[in-house]
Structure 1
């Protein structure tokens, strides 16, 4: 269903504000200027044992002006929705650029800011793909559904507690620049999650397990029938958790792994998504996720993984959390190759980094999480492509004599060059002779990025593909948060090192 942008947002005087700000920036000699007005509404509900435990509903609204003046960036933000105030904010941005230019010159640098060219996109409107806006649903319906789901878990044998939460976001954005681009956008996303806690009455041992339904760029329909089978997942969760409590500790060693998309998406995020952000690979950025082993001199050369590995950066995927019509520099959304046949062939770019490194065009990865924050290069939906006629998950399991089947993300650790890592999962099933043989506990898979992806011997078909992701990818200083999706099929990896985490902790 194609929705229109909220009338309450369209009623804001953003075009007049943009005209005033951009005219002032031009008059002050800016080589480039852009204006961005945003309204971001975020709401959350939390339940503990089917009872309300907290809620919030906040709106962040304002505008920002960014300029290039004298080869330097300038940025300023405001909340006063008058043309005089917008012009003043533009003047502040130019003043900041002038000051920055002096500092850069004093430091002996001659690296001026230039932006890669982008076609003009005039008067464009884009709305994300959803059926029912969650903000149009009464709060009582939201808490009522979460309570009902929590009650199902609490009614199961062995479940001592159940936590439930729902996060919802509606993001409205208007962008205009001195080249003539102007875009109006609306994005909706949500993240429902339930966690069951079980306690063994004899030993006192406890554990938890949560739903593996990913956050999505969808509407309320995601909780009521479209996109995920909630009934089946909630029915299976208690017995899976009970089995995990009784499961034996894993024996450390080398295993073949069949990794479910509900786990593999996070490995993609940490070992590919961050590593192919070109600002990190160049050393311009290190906040939160460090730099990258996949340095720019290795483009077209680095064997990232096996020959069946194909990874795309994508700002167009339906229901993707990083999907947009246009980024925060007026660049149209695109899809492109990052890894092709196992070789590094691309990066994620914004307009400045694209120009700096010789690319003809940005691939649309600039984003700011607030009107008071400057756009920075952010992650696209980075996804491992399925094999067109590839096997099912069951067929992949059938190819394993001795291994593990991993489902759901849990914890992870990776170094600041995105190279050496270890990941755990919500649950792990032993595979013996091509069949599942019950759960094991206390496991983590450990590898370097290229060794792990080099060990991938098969990828599942489109029927195994799931778009996972997270709301909370961090970057920059001051810190910003972005939502991002990672699609992938089930995949088979050979001879991966499995740690017993209780043994490792005791060393």
Structure 2
């Protein structure tokens, strides 16, 4: 289905606000300036045992001006949708850059902010791939579907409780900069989840099992049959949970591990995705997720895995959560290699880090999660490439004599260098002589990233 940018967003004075902000930044001597106006609507529904337990519907509307002035960053944001308001925010951004320059000079640093070149993208429009905007579906219909699914699970023997949730996001973004790039974008994404809980009334022991359907850049059609077989998964969960309740605890030791994509995505995200954000590897970013063992001096040298390991960064994959047309610095979305034949060959970049390290053009990984926040280098869709020969999950299991097969993600832990990790799952199976031999409980797998 072909969509258009939401008319109520286009009706905002996007160009006029951008022109006012960028003109003020130029007049104050900025070497670079960009303007980003966003409207992000997020809504969530939560049910407990098929009954509503909470909901929310919020809209974040505002704009940001970012400048390079005197070789330093400056940033400010606002919500006053007038020309004077936009110009004032630009003035604040320049004032912040001047203050930053003084702090940098006082620290004895001579490093200047410079940005990698990017072609000018004039009047570009990009809309993500979806059929039905979830916000066009009445809230009552969303709650009714979650309640129906929950009741279905509750009717099954052994299911004592069911938690259900749905998060939907509709994002509009307008970007313009002093080089002449102007982009307007619209994307939709959502994440449904159901968790069934079983309780042994005699022993008080309990366990749970959650759906493994991933969050996606799709529309409401994802819940009605496109992209995931919900009927099949909901029908299977009660029996799988009952088996899990009866399953023995795993015997600790070394096993060959077969990791289902529904679990592997998180392992890749934590041990490769974050580790190859180059600002993190350089030490510029060291917040919640830490730095990285995959330091810049190891580019084209570090053995990340075996020779069959190929990993890409991609901001173009259809329905990806990180898929965009252009990033928050006006860089066109791309796909590139991070690990090639087992060796670290690339990083995720923004324009400043690309220029600083001499790596050429940015690959479009600047992202801000709000119009009030400055863009930072943030993960693309990071994916392990499949075997060109088409090896199946069954083939992998068939080649294992003694192993564990893990499905669905649960808890995780990884150190501040993205090096030592531990992951658990929704369900785990023993593998003996190439065959699955029932579930086991209490499985956690540990390792180091390489």
1:7-29 Cα deviation digits (max 9, x unpaired): 00000001000001000100000
Partner of 2:60: 60
Partner of 1:388: 388
Partner of 2:70: 70
Partner of 1:447: 447
Question: 1:81-230 to 2 correspondence within 5 Å?
Answer: 81-230=81-230
Partner of 1:471: none
Partner of 2:36: 36
Partner of 1:462: none
Displacement of 1:188: 0.2
Structure 1 spans left out of the alignment, 5+ residues:
451-507
Partner of 2:336: 336
Partner of 1:46: 46
Displacement of 1:203: 1.4
Partner of 1:455: none
Partner of 1:480: none
Partner-residue secondary structure (3-state), 2:3: coil
Displacement of 1:190: 0.2
Partner of 2:241: 241
Displacement of 1:2: 2.4
Partner of 2:434: 434
Q: Distance in 2 between matches of 1:278 and 1:299?
A: 11
Structure 2 spans left out of the alignment, 5+ residues:
none
Tell me how many residue pairs correspond in the alignment: 450
Partner-residue secondary structure (3-state), 1:194: strand
1:318-358 Cα deviation digits (max 9, x unpaired): 00000000000000000000000000000000000000000
Q: Distance in 2 between matches of 1:88 and 1:196?
A: 52
Partner-residue secondary structure (3-state), 1:254: coil
Q: Distance in 1 between matches of 2:411 and 2:78?
A: 39
Displacement of 1:395: 1.4
1:403-424 Cα deviation digits (max 9, x unpaired): 1110000111111101111111
Displacement of 1:139: 0.6
Q: Distance in 1 between matches of 2:7 and 2:388?
A: 42
Partner of 1:79: 79
Q: Distance in 1 between matches of 2:78 and 2:410?
A: 40
Q: Distance in 1 between matches of 2:87 and 2:444?
A: 55
- The two structures, once aligned, show a CA RMSD in angstroms of 0.6
Q: Distance in 2 between matches of 1:375 and 1:293?
A: 23
Q: Distance in 1 between matches of 2:147 and 2:442?
A: 31
Q: Distance in 1 between matches of 2:398 and 2:304?
A: 27
1:242-292 Cα deviation digits (max 9, x unpaired): 111110011111111111000000000010001000011001111111110
User: Which deviates more from structure 2 when the two are superposed, residues 389-398 or residues 85-94?
Assistant: 389-398
More strand by share: 1
Displacement of 1:100: 0.7
Q: Distance in 1 between matches of 2:389 and 2:291?
A: 36
In the superposition, the TM-score normalised over structure 1's length comes to: 0.88
Partner of 2:367: 367
Partner of 2:282: 282
Partner of 1:499: none
Q: Distance in 2 between matches of 1:257 and 1:94?
A: 54
Alignment partner of 1:319 is 2:319? yes
List structure 1 segments (4+ residues) > 3 angstroms apart after TM superposition. Answer: none
Alignment partner of 1:27 is 2:27? yes
In the superposition, the TM-score normalised over structure 2's length comes to: 0.99
Q: Distance in 1 between matches of 2:412 and 2:39?
A: 33
1:443-468 Cα deviation digits (max 9, x unpaired): 11111110xxxxxxxxxxxxxxxxxx
Partner of 1:475: none
Q: Distance in 2 between matches of 1:163 and 1:66?
A: 42
Q: Distance in 2 between matches of 1:414 and 1:360?
A: 31
Displacement of 1:202: 2.0
